Structure 1
Amino acid sequence: MSDGAPDPMDLLHPGLVHHVVNTLGWPRLRPLQEEAITPLTDGTDAVLIAPTAGGKTEAACFPLLSRMAQEKWDGTSVLYVCPLKALLNNLLPRLETYTSWLGRTAALWHGDVTHSRRKRILRERPDVLLTTPESLEAMLVSTNVDHRAFFSGLRAIVVDEVHAFAGDDRGWHLLAVLERLERVAGRPVQRVGLSATVGNPRELLTWLQGAKAEQRAARVVAPHLREKEPKLPPPGDVQLDYVGSLTNAATVIAALHRGEKRLVFCESRKEVEELGSALRAKGVTTFLSHASLSADERRRAEEAFAEARDCVIVSTSTLELGIDVGDLDRVVQIDAPSTVASFLQRLGRTGRRPGASRNCLFLATDDAGLLTAAALLLLWSGGWVEPVIAPPEPRHIAAQQMLALCLQEHRVGDRLWQDWWGGLGPFGPSAEPIMRHLVEEGFLDRDGELLFIGPEAEKRFGYRHFMDLTAVFTAAPEFTVLSGRTEIGTTDPALLTDEVIGPRRLLLAGRSWQVTYIDWSRRRCFVEPVEGGGRARWGGIGLTRTASYELTRSVREVLLGATPPVRVTRRAESALARVRDESAELVHRDGSIIMRGGHDTNVRWWTWAGHRTNATLAATLSSIADPLQRPTSTYIRLREDITPQEWRKTTAHAADHLCLPTVDPRALAGLKFNVALPPRLAEATLAARLADLKGAIASLREAVSFTTK
């Protein structure tokens, strides 16, 4: 702050400033927190960007609580929305403390909150409500909630981890619910997003503002992004090692960093279970966290880990976000996350003690993991972070929102329903065909000019008061695993139906269990603990997360000799040299390669362009592409008789006539509410999401060399 400039702290409520200085013991606020005061007290929409543990919650809440007190807001005036219930649970004590300083209250509302507690919240409205978008939707459609009275005082909403919402369909759902809430409240609601570093902060803020973005004041607050040089951890604090297997990874983790608290990230629940079991077998105090463990099991593990010292917690991305697991010494990454943004979140879990630096040890279990880790670190070291882009054409969410609105209002005018979303793109005139389909198929009924819930919606989504209508993801059916009356978690039903020799054993929560009884009708499986022999497995429904164009291109750079500026162990250097030698003929600095021959008779175009780009290219070049292939991230197969002349003729103008990838009808199962769409629109939605048009154009315009092996 320059001499003579007004102090932003003067805009905060004096009682709050007193507690910041005397209760928290903070002589001053952090730069982000100071810079957020003026725009937020002015009512400006904002995105606050800082690394993990950067003080974003306080940066948002201190100005809003000050406004609440100074402007005498009444009732539930601030919503604090998070993507995870565990994150909300973790934040509640802090928000209760901050609100109490000003004689205000905060409360929690999500699926695990008891009925009696909810009744009390409805009776004694808290000033700040911590919740999820799904719970907000449930409140709007519930017959037990007078949503117009409850949200009548709404003034502001804080969206924590806003980048996590914006990148998938939960973001579209959140935006649509916010537009409906503004209409219920009868006033514009200030929108404040909290985010880790992203590649397109201004676009993220515009997205968060929704339908009337052009009419609302907006500000990105990100002091650390204005630094001239990116601050990388000191050399050696980010390391890349090659261990060759998950078993070897367990050996390395058990031997290194004894006496320290370590958080290990894996990219699948199966890996979490297998690594956790292997670490325990080596005598390492180990805890586990992933989505198929029961809430109680995860909470017990996270609490025990937070209080322990010499221990390891193995997790999927469930611990990537800002849940507090105590003072970490080290982060270990098995292979690599799928994005630089995820790595930044994980790196930010360490280095929170004064004098400590952020650190991460990558342990590659195979060649693909090594290349991906090196490529990701190369992108990160150059300061690149993925832009957050909302999935295109969310027609299924539009269908869900129309049904939810009719539940909320009971009767909706057939020419007025669009007004509820204020012109928000996917929920405006382009959704008319979806509305007609909902009426034609009986999801909605019509009485004159009024629309209401129809019999098909009751049949498809009416279970437990339409609870299934409030969640936008399709979850794979799993069996609940119980030891006595204690819920351990859930497992893939395939593990209960596969043929086995001898007793059937599962691996869950890092322990082996023997199945004693299966209740098929209630989807429950009873187990008892045993020593070893358990298996872990989970399936998946929907789109597979695969490497992007940028990450795959970075893999090519690694194969061409680029090495990230981190500590690379001798094992990793040796493995990289071997992989580069084995792949030398597949990469070329001046373009891509079409290779005929090798270990089979296939002709492969080595694009190094990512799965979605290659799927787009295969569809666009259908006359010369192998029709039976499944495109990979690195190549597509061409016809065996392709000639350079035919290639040039076919691709000459292909960049101007791109085609969307073909959709397997079975893949529609992963698009929730697809049954409420005309089949052609459901397929078009999925095809748009499988495509990368920009990457396809770049690949087609790149020089191509034909080689024969």
Structure 2
Amino acid sequence: MTTTSPPSGSSAFRLLHPKVQRWIWQQDWPELRPAQEAAAAPVLAGETDVLIAAATASGKTEAAFLPICSALTADRPRTGGFAAVYISPLKALINDQYGRLDELCEHLDIPVARWHGDVGASGKSKLLERPRGILLITPESLEAMFVLRGWKMRDLAGALRYVVIDEMHSFMGAERGAQLQSLMHRLDLAARRRVPRVGLSATLGDMRAAADFLRPGSGDKVTVIVSDADSQELQLQVRGYVETRPNLSALDRTADEDAEQQTGEEDSGDRIAIADHLFTTLRGSHNLIFANSRGAVEEYTDLLSRRCDQAGVPNEFVPHHGNLSKDIREHAESRLKDRARPVTAVCTSTLEMGIDIGSVSSVAQVGAPPGVAALRQRLGRSGRRGGPAILRVYIRERELSPTLHPAEELRAQFVQTIATIELLLQRWYEPPHGTALHLSTLVQQTLSLIAQHGGITPNDAYRTLCVQGPFRLVDAATFAALLRDLGEATLIRQETDGLLLHGDAGEMLVNHYTFYAAFAAPTEYRIVHRGRALGSLPIEQSLPEGALLIFAGRRWRIVAIDARAKVIEVARASGGRPPRFTGAGPEVHDRIRTEMRRVYEDTAVPTYLDATAQRLLEQGRAAYRRFGLEARPIVGYGNDTLLFPFCGDAIMTTIALTLHSRGVTVERQGLALALSEITPQITADLLRELSESELPAATELARLIPDKRIDKYDESIGEELLARSFAARRLDVPGARNVISRFAEQAALARFA
């Protein structure tokens, strides 16, 4: 892996084609950006893969396409086919980049074409008749091209010289990323050569892992360009709020009474205070407010819109999330681009990535950020055009009371936010998950290969996908077992000569438009108590029977799980008030929890905290000292015992399942694991016993989970392979062993009443 530092001069400009140079002069650019300077030579050479990591709005797109267009202009393709393929995670980003690239390429006589679900059939037919120039496409549309036009892929890729992957960080570690890697490899096979790849990303932590994602197995040969020259001033504030009863205006009171009648809830005073500050601070400028759920987006959009009505001013606050129609989302995007009228979009992660919405004055985050890389990506939306990046974070915590859960006395959500920000300032980001088998996506790619070629032998499929392709952690025996599972599910059948073809179920699956996506939304389960439906819940973290579940503000014990019907039967469970910040959602990395422990044990107060936030930090630190967590992880809580491991979610899940295997009822409660009806001393003895014995294997622990179906095509995979896949992705036995050993040592030094 070669790392190139951006030079200070303008040597790259002289390497570009004269027509490209002329276009740059017409833009009145005083100079090339550092990433553009560094990327020109290796991209033009076309002999290696190139990874460009730089800040948002640092000109990464031009860093790739200025030299690509120079190469295509200097040496016109002699055969038909697309000369460059740009792969983006979002259709909206493709539409945006189309305008930017078309402006450059129209002067160079290089056609630029879009291909995604919103492009009409006639436009696609014209492209197929005369494929050339630059193709902008999503992974799902590229998948459809392989499935529906497999016979034509060699013609379409015959002149292919570059593959560009935008927002590469958004693919890494996910099923969609495994699909993308497979598709890039299949493009190489269709082109009959190793096509250079150019990866673009604003937020990458482990550059070595990122390079290996771009070219699996050959990451050390990737030219990596890291540009820090676009670092900017950061203005940061974290605002703390304590839950209070609302002091409602007449307008809010009427709306709140309506909401309470429908949901049984009301707007709390802290939510209203957050909305008031957002309204006062952001009105009159362009901003983004990131909320952690679609429900929160709708809630805060409503609160802010009401304030516009109350003040008699035009509404400046619009929602943006994945459940909204395309028209509503595009209306919000167009308003953000329109500099004549101020607007603030309240959004989920849909506006994290590089849709060109222009510069925004500031970014607000309501609730704990989902991770360091996500926070960095969101922050990158602010501070363009030479101004400072401005980030405001709003955190709500419950008021201290005798009934408050210890995890909330620790102000866990708040301290996790501080830890995330501190790691952001240290330029650390979450690395991709390197041990996942991605069997669900391997199912999809196997079926896609059969469709592309009209059938394939098991050996050819294994060589294409596993030996040469991205599924290198899947050995021959595992792949053979997977094929047997697919046969039992009638997704595939085998001819007498060994050729694999689609089975009846496989034909139906591949011929449906939903086949092309490797990912699916979190599975919704109905929660049922004594035959009465309590509601539905998206389950992102698998649960065993007997575990405890928090739903509708109450604690429930899971009686039975029907994985096929997607039903969880529950019974009322006793216990104290559950914590609001349960830790559910995206997996939290081990490094974040380690940083949280450092924050608790430190005495320094970050300068970016407001007065209430400073009090919350002191309360959390006082609780940490009062519970004695610096010396021991065990805290008694009524009839239960709480374990505070301060480790990542994979280790916490492994410890919970290990205890469950010993007959202990375990519930995840934020930072803690709650052991029901067990004393601290018995817990300490159990930890010592576990530290002196061999922990169950990861696959054995995974078998305790009734429903291990996480990804889209897991329904067709047998229980044994599902257990292995779950273990590889969600469990960490070595890490759990180290934590349990530390627990046992600390518990041995402690005395429990």
Q: 1:83 maps to what in 2? A: 89
| Compared CA separation, residues 499 and 393, structure 1 to 2 (3 A) | closer
CA distance in 1, matches of 2:668, 2:10: 62
CA distance in 2, matches of 1:646, 1:669: 31
CA distance in 2, matches of 1:128, 1:391: 34
Q: 2:293 maps to what in 1? A: 268
| Compared CA separation, residues 664 and 277, structure 1 to 2 (3 A) | farther
Do 1:372 and 1:551's aligned partners in 2 also have CA atoms closer than 8 Å?
yes
Residue 325 (1) aligns with residue 357 (2):
yes
Q: 1:616 maps to what in 2? A: 654
Residue type of the alignment partner of 1:552: R
Q: 1:16 maps to what in 2? A: 20
1:193-272 equivalence runs, <5 A: 193-210=199-216, 217-224=221-228, 233=233, 237-244=235-242, 245-272=270-297
| Compared CA separation, residues 313 and 379, structure 1 to 2 (3 A) | same
SS in 2 for 1:642: helix
Residue 423 (1) aligns with residue 472 (2):
no
SS in 2 for 1:361: strand
Q: 2:691 maps to what in 1? A: 651
Do 1:612 and 1:692's aligned partners in 2 also have CA atoms closer than 8 Å?
yes
Q: 1:524 maps to what in 2? A: none
Q: 1:48 maps to what in 2? A: 52
CA distance in 2, matches of 1:4, 1:287: 42
Structure 2 unaligned regions, length at least 5: 243-269, 309-314, 398-410, 536-583
Do 2:55 and 2:231's aligned partners in 1 also have CA atoms closer than 8 Å?
no
- Which among 46, 71, 78 is matched to residue 67 of structure 1? 71
Q: 2:123 maps to what in 1? A: 117
CA distance in 1, matches of 2:162, 2:720: 39
Do 1:560 and 1:587's aligned partners in 2 also have CA atoms closer than 8 Å?
no
- Which among 493, 516, 520 is matched to residue 470 of structure 1? 516
CA distance in 2, matches of 1:426, 1:404: 20
- Which among 378, 381, 391 is matched to residue 360 of structure 1? 391
Q: CA deviation at 1:701?
A: 4.2
Q: How many residues align?
A: 636
SS in 1 for 2:171: helix
CA distance in 1, matches of 2:522, 2:736: 32
Structure 1 unaligned regions, length at least 5: 479-491, 501-542
- Which among 700, 714, 731 is matched to residue 691 of structure 1? 731
1:559-598 equivalence runs, <5 A: 559-561=600-602, 565-586=606-627, 588-589=629-630, 591-595=631-635, 597-598=636-637
Q: CA deviation at 1:270?
A: 0.5
Do 1:618 and 1:661's aligned partners in 2 also have CA atoms closer than 8 Å?
no
- Which among 152, 155, 169 is matched to residue 149 of structure 1? 155
| Compared CA separation, residues 294 and 645, structure 1 to 2 (3 A) | closer
Q: CA deviation at 1:661?
A: 4.3
Q: CA deviation at 1:644?
A: 4.2
- Which among 714, 737, 741 is matched to residue 674 of structure 1? 714
TM-score, length of structure 1 as denominator length: 0.83
Superposed CA deviations along residues 103-145 of structure 1, whole A, max 9, x for unmatched, are 1011111111111221122123241111111110100111597
Q: Give the stretch that moved more between structures: 184-193 or 559-568.
A: 559-568
Residue type of the alignment partner of 2:516: T
CA distance in 2, matches of 1:663, 1:232: 49
Do 2:457 and 2:500's aligned partners in 1 also have CA atoms closer than 8 Å?
yes
Q: CA deviation at 1:304?
A: 1.6
CA distance in 1, matches of 2:708, 2:685: 38
| Compared CA separation, residues 20 and 441, structure 1 to 2 (3 A) | same
SS in 2 for 1:682: helix
Q: CA deviation at 1:654?
A: 4.8
1:268-667 equivalence runs, <5 A: 268-283=293-308, 284-307=315-338, 308-354=340-386, 356-366=387-397, 367-390=411-434, 392-421=436-465, 423-424=468-469, 425-426=472-473, 429=476, 430-447=478-495, 448-459=497-508, 461-462=509-510, 465-475=511-521, 544-561=585-602, 565-586=606-627, 588-589=629-630, 591-595=631-635, 597-598=636-637, 600-622=638-660, 626-630=664-668, 632-637=670-675, 639-640=678-679, 642=682, 644-652=684-692, 654=694, 661-662=701-702, 667=707
Residue type of the alignment partner of 1:40: V
CA distance in 1, matches of 2:88, 2:125: 22
CA distance in 2, matches of 1:213, 1:575: 44
SS in 2 for 1:277: helix
SS in 2 for 1:567: coil
CA distance in 2, matches of 1:456, 1:257: 53
SS in 1 for 2:667: coil
| Compared CA separation, residues 498 and 309, structure 1 to 2 (3 A) | farther
CA distance in 1, matches of 2:734, 2:383: 38
SS in 2 for 1:359: strand
Pairwise CA RMSD of aligned residues? 3.0
Superposed CA deviations along residues 336-383 of structure 1, whole A, max 9, x for unmatched, are 2221111111111111123x1111011112244322211211222333
CA distance in 1, matches of 2:292, 2:7: 50
Q: CA deviation at 1:312?
A: 1.6
Percent of counterpart pairs with the same letter?
28
Residue type of the alignment partner of 1:64: I
Q: CA deviation at 1:695?
A: 3.8
CA distance in 2, matches of 1:313, 1:548: 29
| Compared CA separation, residues 697 and 41, structure 1 to 2 (3 A) | farther
